[in-house]
Chain A
């Protein structure tokens, strides 16, 4: 099975935890006409990590790196959830039962459906399990 088409490139940006850093990242992406489709911020003491799905990840990487940011690509997957009670449970259970650990995740609830973005330790396995459970994974072409 070709799992590659379900692997989505997320960009992660290291950021100091102080006012104006998100604005600076967002401004840089806006200037390059890069659209942010989903994002989250994880924070630790003194610093944070901004994670985003964008329509042009390579361009975003280049732009932010040129500004001195520490940027990394991370493989994530995006699962379509039922936008109704129990929707998250179905997906989480599939991964839990398969012994696949979710390192982190974030979600957005769009016009068509709710989408859960997940970073897991075993990407291929996770894709196979989710697909065989009958759930829908979004292909990376949906984003970029």
Chain B
């Protein structure tokens, strides 16, 4: 069994928790003193750094939401100076304004270390060739994995996304042993390889996939592993945490959330109450060491549960089970976050169509297709096909601009879409994950 940081990865739980308390206390003191945002939040919650006397006191602290990051665009809540910042990443900004994440050198180091521990835990190291087929650029996936893989001394092949045939040729020629990408892109690679007459199982050295950035299931894991002859590992992260961060170990039973880097809670998203290990709720993360953009009790919106048992691999940090859904109705289409509320908002500004809509998501081969069905309003029907086609194109164009993802639009008869009382079910997700 290989470890990257054996001292921390195997540290007894009680010592880990002592360390977490110290880190939390110093984080809270620092932010109360130096961050107007957190100072005001703590005041509003009537909590003072002195009230944090134990790790369990974390539940006294206020929550932070995605909206807080949007409201503080681009950098109002950064707690590092411009001189200290070494990088920006920017989220896709699919719900209004994008969010900007800044990093100090230490933030980059901790991020890379977190990935390095994960890659080591699945048996990668010097001599391995890691193909990074996450997008490079403003998205955190590419550069995050790149730095993590370099940290363990692996050789990185920074292919980014696209030009799949070339990716497969390079995978063969450079004897790639592991690939990091979205599960759907790996399936796409598998399909293209088959068309090229290449059997990934027999004709390449690929042995592991580090897959994330979109939800996937155990069934998909089985399919990928059997079809491609590799081990498929889940990796978790969001740009607010830094990027892809936490990886499963060889046990493939939930991703390890390193206790020195993050304090993970699961809460009841309605009441905000902390839930017990094993109970399902909303993941809430406090980043214990982040410098540029600290996160205290950040409500990610993903649903899962925590396993506090020491892992059979020997690692003592808690594991979080595979993500089981969202507290909101966020969809991930081709790696891009899409909220039905954005669709609604966009449609409301187009008088030719009504406010009712239905989203149908299908997986066509390895790629997602999104169809939005909208009702033509009474006054906008003119009998001319051209006018109707124009309305359809306009809606497609406006949705694409708002969502950053290509959308097909279908015009339907007024009143034909289902109406719902209360929380409506406007999404039909036909993807068999």
Binding site for B on A (CB under 8 A): 10, 12, 14-16, 42, 44, 46-47, 49, 51, 68-72, 74, 103, 119
Contacts and interface: CB of A to CB of B under 8 A. Distances in A.
A69 B413 contact: yes
Contacts of A46: 410-411
A15 B381 contact: no
B354 to A, nearest CB: 11
A14 B413 contact: yes
Interface residues of B, number: 16
6 contacts: A16-B413, A47-B410, A69-B413, A69-B414, A70-B381, A70-B414
Nearest to A21: B413
A89 to B, nearest CB: 25
Given A47-B410, A47-B412, A103-B384, 5 more contacts: A16-B412, A46-B411, A68-B413, A70-B414, A119-B383
B399 to A, nearest CB: 15
B389 A44 contact: yes
A16 to B, nearest CB: 5
Interface of B: 376, 378, 381-385, 388-389, 410-416
A51 B388 contact: no
B410 to A, nearest CB: 5
Given A15-B413, A16-B412, A49 B385 contact: yes
> Chain A interface secondary structure, helix, strand, loop or mixed?
strand
Contact of A68 (B389, B411, B415): B415
Q: Please give me the 6 A-B residue pairs with the lowest Cβ-Cβ distance, nearest first.
A: A12-B383, A68-B415, A70-B381, A74-B383, A46-B410, A14-B381
A14 B376 CA distance: 9
A44 B414 CA distance: 17
A49 B383 contact: yes
A143 to B, nearest CB: 17
Given A14-B413, A46-B411, A70 B378 contact: yes
B414 A68 contact: yes
A49 B388 contact: yes
A44 B385 CA distance: 7
B378 to A, nearest CB: 6
A48 B376 CA distance: 12
Nearest to A119: B383
Contacts of A44: 385, 388-389
A79 B125 CA distance: 83
Contact of B385 (A42, A68, A72, A74): A42
B413 A70 contact: yes
Contacts of B410: 46-47
Nearest to A47: B411
